[in-house]
């Protein structure tokens, strides 16, 4: 890219502020208000853009440029929906995108509009390179915070594999303070239902108590053995019975009851197999129904591309002595991401979670992003693209 071309790029901090000022809080906030200006920027740079709406005004953007038969493009993904503000009062305007003492405040500043802005500007900077090379694919989603709804909706579209295409590597720009993470646990949420027969509370022998059935299943699940060794970086899977309800009134035998179960899986645990084992543990008195099915995401440290990501991160950190990129305390994220929904669509590419937001600020009151992390992320993303195209 020439210096004159670079001078016409949007500033990633300014673009972050623009996105943060757009209220994309469900149900009133519509993600397309963020998607449309991003699509305009990318289209002007030569990207082919397609918006897939999962509801009116709730669009997911796919933008592609370049590509060659012998090497799949690099892909970036991020979401533009945000979570509620919480009950505590904010000292900063959550939609103001104000900068105070080197921090950019606002809902979504870290999670994760700064990441979307950084990779969008990087994609614009690398458009000429990508047009004649391996290419770049951007997937900017709606509805991630409610269970990757936009990403799953995209993946279900007829012929999506043809017009989205495969990816050789995937960057998920969730908040990591620009330190690369190699994946995250899976999230498998289930509803357990028990049916019984109602009767008067004074004659329980005439009924069939659904709560007792559910209680027996809950106690069995508490002792469930996943029979899998701890993952070297993700640790062990977990299971929590998180809600339970049943019955209508105190003097009747309950004829229906349900509970929810939160399972966090590690890499190498297919959820279909997990479900079969849990059904056997819970027993025939209850029925298990999936509510959320997000497999674990993991790329090992021995992967050649992951090693290149680490090397380029160290190089970027060295060029920013005033703001070094500190190694992450854990190799994997505690949260789940759209990668779980998108990787099968993209051909299961190696994946890194890497973005400028502060991990500790996700979903927090007075959420902020460190301003200087945003151009740092842009430079790192450009380095990743250049390295991918040089191979």
Global pTM value:
0.94
Length of the chain counted residue by residue: 391
Torsion angle, CA of 113/154/338/18, rounded to 10 degrees? Answer: 0
Instruction: Spot the catalytic one: 81, 174, 208, 255.
Output: 81
CA-wise closest residue to 375 among 316, 296, 330, 334:
316
Instruction: Give, for 316, the enclosing helix (H) or strand (E).
Output: helix 304-318
3-class secondary-structure state, position 136: strand
Is pLDDT of 335 > 80?
A: yes
The predicted model gives 64-85 an average pLDDT of 96
Contact call for residues 111 and 303 (beta carbons, < 8 A): no
Contact call for residues 194 and 285 (beta carbons, < 8 A): yes
Label residue 2 by pLDDT band (50, 70, 90).
very low
Contact call for residues 377 and 115 (beta carbons, < 8 A): yes
Instruction: Spot the catalytic one: 31, 111, 144, 145.
Output: 145
Tens of pLDDT, residue by residue over 306-334, are 999 999 999 999 999 999 999 988 899 98
Structural class in CATH, domain 186-294 = alpha beta
Q: Which residue has the tokens 């027996």?
A: 216
Catalytic status, residue 81 = yes
The predicted model gives 47-58 an average pLDDT of 95
Contact call for residues 102 and 94 (beta carbons, < 8 A): no
Contact call for residues 111 and 367 (beta carbons, < 8 A): yes
Instruction: Give, for 198, the enclosing helix (H) or strand (E).
Output: none
Q: What is the pLDDT of residue 3?
A: 44
Instruction: State how far the Cα of 275 lies from the Cα of 77, in Å rounded to an integer.
Output: 29
Average pLDDT, the chain: 95
Q: Which residue has the tokens 């953007």?
A: 61
Is pLDDT of 28 > 80?
A: no
Q: Which fold has domain 3-184+297-390?
A: Aminopeptidase (3.40.630)
Q: What is the pLDDT of residue 339?
A: 98
Report domain extents, the chain: 3-184+297-390, 186-294
The dihedral built from the CA positions of residue 110, 112, 116 and 117, taken in this order, carries a sign that is negative
Catalytic status, residue 255 = no
Tens of pLDDT, residue by residue over 142-159, are 999 999 999 999 999 999
Tens of pLDDT, residue by residue over 180-239, are 999 999 999 999 999 999 999 999 999 999 999 999 999 999 999 999 999 999 999 999
Q: What is the pLDDT of residue 124?
A: 98
Q: What is the pLDDT of residue 5?
A: 56
């Amino acid at each position: 890219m020439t210096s004159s071309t670079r001078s016409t790029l949007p500033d990633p901090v300014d673009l972050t502020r623009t996105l943060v000022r757009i209220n994309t809080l469900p149900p009133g906030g519509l993600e397309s208000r963020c998607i449309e200006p991003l699509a305009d920027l990318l289209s002007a740079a030569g990207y082919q853009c397609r918006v897939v709406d999962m509801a009116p005004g709730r669009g997911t953007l796919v933008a592609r440029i370049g590509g060659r038969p012998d090497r799949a493009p690099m892909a970036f993904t991020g979401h533009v929906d945000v979570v509620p503000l919480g009950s505590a009062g904010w000292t900063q305007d959550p939609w103001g995108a104000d900068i105070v003492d080197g921090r950019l405040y606002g809902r979504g500043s870290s999670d994760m509009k700064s990441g979307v802005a950084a990779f969008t500007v990087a994609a614009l900077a690398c458009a000429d390179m990508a047009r004649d090379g391996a290419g770049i694919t951007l997937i900017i989603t709606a509805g991630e915070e409610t269970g990757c709804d936009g990403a799953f909706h995209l993946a279900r579209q007829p012929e999506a594999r043809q017009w989205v295409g495969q990816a050789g590597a995937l960057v998920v720009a969730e908040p990591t303070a620009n330190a690369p993470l190699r994946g995250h646990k899976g999230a498998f949420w289930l509803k357990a239902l028990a049916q019984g027969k109602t009767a008067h509370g004074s004659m329980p022998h005439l009924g069939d108590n659904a709560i007792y059935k559910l209680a027996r299943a809950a106690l069995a699940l508490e002792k469930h053995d996943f029979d899998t060794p701890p993952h070297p970086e993700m640790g062990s899977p977990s299971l929590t019975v998180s809600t339970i309800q049943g019955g209508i009134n105190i003097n009747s035998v309950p004829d229906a009851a349900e509970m929810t179960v939160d399972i966090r899986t590690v890499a190498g645990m297919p959820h279909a197999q997990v479900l079969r084992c849990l059904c056997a543990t819970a027993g025939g008195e209850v029925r298990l129904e999936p509510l959320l099915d997000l497999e674990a995401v993991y790329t090992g440290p021995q992967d050649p591309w992951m090693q290149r990501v680490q090397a380029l991160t160290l190089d970027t950190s060295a060029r920013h002595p005033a703001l070094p990129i500190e190694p992450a305390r854990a190799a994997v994220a505690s949260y789940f991401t759209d990668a779980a929904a998108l990787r099968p669509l993209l051909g299961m590419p190696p994946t890194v979670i890497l973005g400028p937001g502060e991990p500790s600020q996700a979903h927090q009151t007075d959420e902020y992003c460190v301003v200087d992390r945003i151009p740092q992320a842009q430079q790192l993303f450009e380095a990743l693209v250049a390295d991918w195209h040089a191979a």
